[in-house]
A and B are shown apart, each in its own frame.
Chain A
């Protein structure tokens, strides 16, 4: 067990954990965040995605010790129910979800993409979300939501 200091959604947390613990378990169990979720534990589905310094990473295969003092954002930290982040609003506007379990991977993967590529093509979206699964297959609406967000950001 070690003391680990994390910067999550703008707040500092110190936790006492095995440093090899995957970041996901610390976020969901110790910090009780609801955004990142365990889907596969193998980095294959994207449900556990968080942003680490703006990059989408898979928290289920990221040892917590490797992201100490790294600025981490989860889906919980983007916007609120009353004031959703513009990308969250775009997903609401397009009704781009069904069960919603995959949204950390889709929304944060897309946000990381649009932050570095303000006018993403479909091919850019394909690359960014090639490791993100949605088994309800809300794919077409999600793509529309990403384009909508990118357009709103340029406006």
Chain B
């Protein structure tokens, strides 16, 4: 099966000028003027988080049928390496009853696809696989085709069926008419019909099956186009020169220092942005290295060694009560036993294998940007701001990047390329150095989390108190904030920061546990509306958001990874204090049936032995084995997951070996079981890497984790645990995300397994050997 998603390098420029109108004309289909359709049918559907964009209500914005009955589909949710291209092709093929090979899916191109905001937040399935957007467009189109078929075949619509790209009479399939004959030369001219009937998941033949990734053959034979492989005629090569330290400003650029160097085209300066453009990539590197640039240091940033204390003491914070039942202090005072602990999480980085890259061709009144951004329309609007163009003058073509897991350098490097191209008036390619990628990406937030819980005489949790401090600066640029990433800031735009607010107002809206700030075990009641998944009524969740010394942004399971590490580790501590089995104790405090089901399924799959932790008669020396569990309802409403980790701890060296990860996941109806498994496996191991190895480091205002020696992860050539997942299919539930669930629960499961093995509790990520040994020593001190 061939895919049409790999434009040849040589055609990249040509395709820049190829409008959707031209594409359709060339393919012999009806002409759909996308711009007209958009303006006729646009409706603002920006969600609270701005994730899903303005969308489009016109069917012609999503689906077109060619004269030869191929289906052209247009989506604003892009392939980030997780299989979404294939899953969306499956969706279109299923709903429209055409073979996979007759679907051509165009992803994320502002000249062709609807504005679906950002491909992020595990929102692609919720957005496109439920009764809205792409899925609804397919259902609307199918019903329209059946109506047209009824006229053509002279049979009532109820007697018709669809199959193999045609409408036919159920009782006489020889009476059929191909889709292309029904709509050839015409637009649908319909809006999406909210009542259009999708197929039942139980009737799926294509969706719900393990269709192999359609793009994988092109990937593994080096035929797939990445933004890194885009080559356009006349293209030059740029290199940026970042400040040495966070907050530094440009003092002087000595252009004479590089004058006459081979290949030099231009030194480009715009406010604090500095870059060079050269004929060849290696020349650009040599010129950038030689360019003399002096900087004025920025404000002093806190010492890493005491950063968590600094964070806790920072008074300029924005404080928010997500929950406050008003009786937590009283409940804790009345409790038979109070358990408390503090959890620490460092800044993490996305750490894409490929440093970020973009190609830009900026001409007066017209710009084309090839970008691996997760947000083509927001990129269009913010790049236009940066370049002084109108949004309609900018085309952003999503082109695959290195796996990103959030906002790596893809957005900022797109601005880099755009600024350099505008300065020289020719297409410019920029790929960041490893150092610039790692020092300046938008890191996942650091966290300090204090937890307290009260137990009554029966060992039931009667109160839960959470208080957290976390810094932020910038983030995704959205539609109007190019300063949220480093290049926009260097060029003079400001990053978003939270306005200080103390004290926090009382909660007054029903719980949205989007960041999993509230633990799974509380009732989550605000004003009598209870949206939590647990049973603990006395509950308080207070967050302090401070200003970060580094740019921050969403990193796979943003904040949910950190919060869930703290909640699920702490739940394990409470269970141990109550001398209860960790699975049984969780089930006792969970009222959400689907969450309970994944906990039980994971425990069953792991052959969980019911008993309290730590393991009885665990040896205090040598290698000790243990198991731990962790669970969450991701984002409070977007996928249920539980995982059991099995570990071996070498108590002499403090080394943790994770020997097995087995979990259960419920993400609604499963689009592609193998795709979900692949995400589960990758997410689980990604979480393991973050739990055991990853930590951004800095000194003297300079990020010092700038390569793969100073920012650790684990190589493909590393003994890794077997990863198994029980997939709980829910055909009648809404579709949830599946890319960020497993990663969210891994760190706590590993930490809990270490406790089970040794009795030592790990409360700071990453679980380095030194920290394991310190925890082992603390255990000895406690029992001495």
Contacts and interface: CB of A to CB of B under 8 A. Distances in A.
Contacts of A55: none
A95 B707 contact: no
Contact of B282 (A25, A37, A42, A79): A25
B466 to A, nearest CB: 30
Interface string B225-243: 1101101000001000000
Contact of A97 (B80, B216, B262, B708): B216
Contact of A76 (B222, B231, B280, B715): B222
Contacts of A25: 280-282
Contacts of A22: 282
B222 A137 contact: no
Residue among B9, B283, B357, B402 with most chain A CB within 10 A: B402
A100 B401 CA distance: 9
Contact of B715 (A75, A131, A136): A131
B464 interface: no
Given A81-B2, A100-B81, A28 B715 contact: no
Given A92-B217, A99-B400, A34 B707 contact: no
A54 interface: no
Interface string B714-729: 0111111011000000
Interface in B303-360: 351-355, 357
Given A44-B709, A95-B212, A135-B403, A103 B219 contact: yes
A130 B718 contact: yes
Nearest to B689: A137
Interface stretch (B134-142, B603-611, B677-685): B677-685
B674 A74 contact: no
A33 B222 CA distance: 8
Interface in A79-109: 79-81, 84, 88, 91-92, 95, 97-107
Contacts of A20: 282
A155 interface: no
Q: Which interface residue of A22, A35, A95 has the most chain B CB atoms within 10 A? A: A95
Contacts of A37: 226, 228-229, 354, 402
Contact of A129 (B80, B231, B686, B715): B715
Given A29-B281, A88-B221, A95 B678 contact: yes
A139 B221 contact: no
A64 to B, nearest CB: 9
Contacts of A46: 716
B355 A100 contact: no
A100 B224 contact: yes
A105 B355 CA distance: 15
A60 to B, nearest CB: 10
A135 B722 CA distance: 17
Nearest to A30: B280
B730 interface: no
Contact of A28 (B229, B262, B686, B722): B229
Contact of B708 (A34, A45, A139): A45
Contacts of A39: 353-355, 402, 434
A21 B286 CA distance: 10
Interface residues of A, number: 66
A1 B215 CA distance: 39
A150 to B, nearest CB: 15
A126 B224 CA distance: 28
Interface string B567-591: 0000000000000000000000000
Interface string B72-106: 00000000111100000000000000000000000
B223 interface: yes
A91 B229 CA distance: 22
B354 A75 contact: no
Contact of B434 (A1, A40, A125): A40
Contacts of A127: 717
A130 B715 contact: yes
Given A75-B222, A135-B713, A99 B403 contact: yes
Nearest to A76: B222
A72 to B, nearest CB: 14
Main DSSP-derived SS at the B contact region: loop
Interface on chain A toward B: helix, strand, loop, or mixed SS?
loop
A114 interface: no
Task: From A74, A84, A140, name the one whose CB has the most chain B CB atoms within 10 angstroms.
Answer: A140
Contacts of A88: 217, 220-221
Interface string B416-453: 00000000000000010110000000000000000000
Contacts of A106: 716
B280 A29 contact: yes
B405 interface: yes
Nearest to B219: A100
B226 A133 contact: no
Contacts of A129: 715-717
A101 B408 CA distance: 15
B213 interface: yes
Contacts of A40: 355, 434, 707-708
Interface in A43-74: 44-47, 74
A41 B434 contact: yes
A34 B223 contact: yes
B694 to A, nearest CB: 11
Contact of A135 (B213, B218, B353): B353
Contacts of A98: 81-83, 403, 678, 682
A112 interface: no
Contact of A126 (B354, B674, B718): B718
Contacts of A29: 231, 237, 280-281
A101 B283 CA distance: 25
Nearest to A146: B716
Contacts of A141: 678, 681
A137 B713 CA distance: 10
A107 B216 CA distance: 13
Given A92-B212, A95-B674, A100 B220 contact: yes
A7 interface: no
A101 B226 contact: yes
Contact of B353 (A78, A128, A133): A133
Nearest to B81: A99
B221 A75 contact: yes
Contacts of A79: 221
A115 interface: no
B708 A21 contact: no
Contacts of B717: 125-132
Contacts of A128: 717
A95 B213 contact: yes
A18 B282 CA distance: 9
A9 to B, nearest CB: 10
Nearest to A36: B222
Given A95-B674, A127-B717, A134-B353, A103 B220 contact: yes
Contact of A42 (B212, B434, B681, B684): B434
Contact of B681 (A34, A130, A131, A137): A137
Contacts of B213: 95, 97
A100 B226 CA distance: 10
B678 A38 contact: no
A3 to B, nearest CB: 15
Nearest to A40: B434
Nearest to A110: B716
Contacts of B2: 81
B716 A132 contact: yes
Contact of A138 (B434, B681, B708): B681
Contacts of B351: 135
Given A98-B678, A106-B716, 5 more contacts: A34-B225, A88-B221, A97-B213, A141-B681, A143-B720
Sorted nearest first, the 8 A-B pairs with minimum C-beta distance are: A99-B81, A129-B717, A100-B219, A99-B403, A35-B222, A137-B685, A101-B402, A130-B717
8 contacts: A39-B354, A40-B707, A44-B708, A81-B223, A97-B216, A132-B716, A135-B686, A139-B718
Interface of A: 1, 17-18, 20-22, 25, 28-29, 32-35, 37-42, 44-47, 74-76, 78-81, 84, 88, 91-92, 95, 97-107, 122, 125-143
